[in-house]
Amino acid sequence: MGPTASRDFLTSAQNVVNCWLVEHGFTVGVQDACATEQTKAAIAETLRKHKRKVDKIINLTHSGSLTCQPGKNMVESFEANVNKALNEARDKAGNLAFKNL
């Protein structure tokens, strides 16, 4: 068919999509994107809980009683444990926020 027919087809296809969106589209309001007070409190509690976990890991490391992971020294084990705690906090807080929206 050639490049002209291809261009015309794509233009027509986009026009069909645009018309469909006008008839069946949706909007998102500000209230749809704001978290409730309960969700904010749950997220704050999750972050506090994981901050305490990180503080505990820091204290164990300073006292020299942090258990080293296999194949890792104290610093690498510390970093891995802190990253794990922070990743858990991010995932749990993100899931709470996502469920609210």
What is the CATH topology of the domain spanning 30-100?
Topoisomerase I; Chain A, domain 4 (1.10.132)
Those residues whose C-beta lies under 8 Å from the C-beta of residue 100, and which sit 6 or more positions away, are 35, 36, 39
What pLDDT, on a 0 to 100 scale, did the predictor assign at position 75? 93
CA distance 10 to 6: 6
For residues 97 and 35, the answer to whether their CB atoms sit within 8 Å is: yes
pLDDT of 17 above 90: yes
Per-residue model confidence as pLDDT tens digits over 63-93: 999 999 999 999 999 999 999 999 999 999 9
Confidence bin at 101 (pLDDT 50/70/90): confident
Could you tell me the residue ranges of all domains in the chain? 30-100
Q: Determine the angle formed by the axes of helices 37-63 and 74-100, rounding to 10 degrees.
A: 180
Per-residue model confidence as pLDDT tens digits over 21-67: 888 887 777 777 788 899 999 999 999 999 999 999 999 999 999 99
pLDDT of 20 above 80: yes
